[in-house]
Amino acid sequence: MRVVIAEDNALLREGLVLLLTSAGHEVVAIAGTGPEIMPMLLEHHPDIAVLDVRMPPGFRDEGLQAALEARARMPELPVLVLSQYVEQSYATELLGGGASGVGYLLKDRVGRVDEFLDALDRVAAGGTALDPEVVSQLLTRPRRSPLDSLTPREREVLALMAAGHDNAGIAATLVVTERAVSKHIGNVFLKLGLPPTDSGHRRVLAVLAYLNQE
Looking at the fold, whether 24 and 48 belong to one and the same domain comes out as yes
> Does 24 reside within a domain?
yes
CA dist., res. 23 & res. 121, Å (int)? 11
Looking at the fold, whether 60 and 111 belong to one and the same domain comes out as yes
> Does 177 reside within a domain?
yes
Looking at the fold, whether 76 and 152 belong to one and the same domain comes out as no
> According to the model, what pLDDT value does residue 22 have?
95
Please give the distance of CA 157 from its chain centroid, rounded to a whole number.
Answer: 17
Looking at the fold, whether 127 and 151 belong to one and the same domain comes out as no
CA dist., res. 65 & res. 99, Å (int)? 17
CA dist., res. 140 & res. 144, Å (int)? 11
Asked if 3 and 20 touch (Cβ cutoff 8 Å), the reply is yes
> According to the model, what pLDDT value does residue 15 have?
92
User: How many domains would you assign to the chain?
Assistant: 2
Looking at the fold, whether 6 and 103 belong to one and the same domain comes out as yes
- pLDDT per residue, tens digit, the chain (214 aa), is 999 999 999 989 999 999 999 999 999 999 999 999 999 999 999 999 999 988 898 888 888 888 888 888 888 899 999 988 766 666 666 776 555 788 888 888 788 899 899 999 999 998 888 887 776 666 555 555 667 778 888 888 888 877 778 899 999 999 999 999 999 888 888 887 776 554 556 666 776 665 555 4
Asked if 88 and 138 touch (Cβ cutoff 8 Å), the reply is yes
**Residue 167: which domain range?**
142-211
> According to the model, what pLDDT value does residue 196 have?
55
> Does 42 reside within a domain?
yes
Q: How far apart are the first and last CA of the chain?
A: 39
Could you tell me the sign of the dihedral formed by the alpha carbons of 84, 86, 89, 92, in that order? positive
> According to the model, what pLDDT value does residue 129 have?
85
Of 108, 131, 154, the position where a domain reaches its end is 131
Of 85, 103, 131, the position where a domain reaches its end is 131
Cβ neighbors of 146 (< 8 A, separation 6 or more) are: 191, 192, 193, 209, 210, 213
**How many residues are listed for the chain in this entry?**
214
> According to the model, what pLDDT value does residue 166 have?
86
Helix/strand/coil for 46: coil
Looking at the fold, whether 25 and 65 belong to one and the same domain comes out as yes
Looking at the fold, whether 107 and 9 belong to one and the same domain comes out as yes
Of 131, 165, 191, the position where a domain reaches its end is 131
> Does 137 reside within a domain?
no
> According to the model, what pLDDT value does residue 110 have?
81
> Does 136 reside within a domain?
no
Cα angle, residue 33 at apex, residues 32 and 39 outer, rounded to 5°: 95
Number of neighbours of residue 69 by Cβ within 10 angstroms: 13
Residue-wise DSSP of 74-142: STT--EEEEESS--HHHHHHHHHT-SSSEEEEEGGGGGSHHHHHHHHHHHHTT-EEE-HHHHHHHHT--
CA dist., res. 32 & res. 14, Å (int)? 12
Q: What is the pTM of this model?
A: 0.66
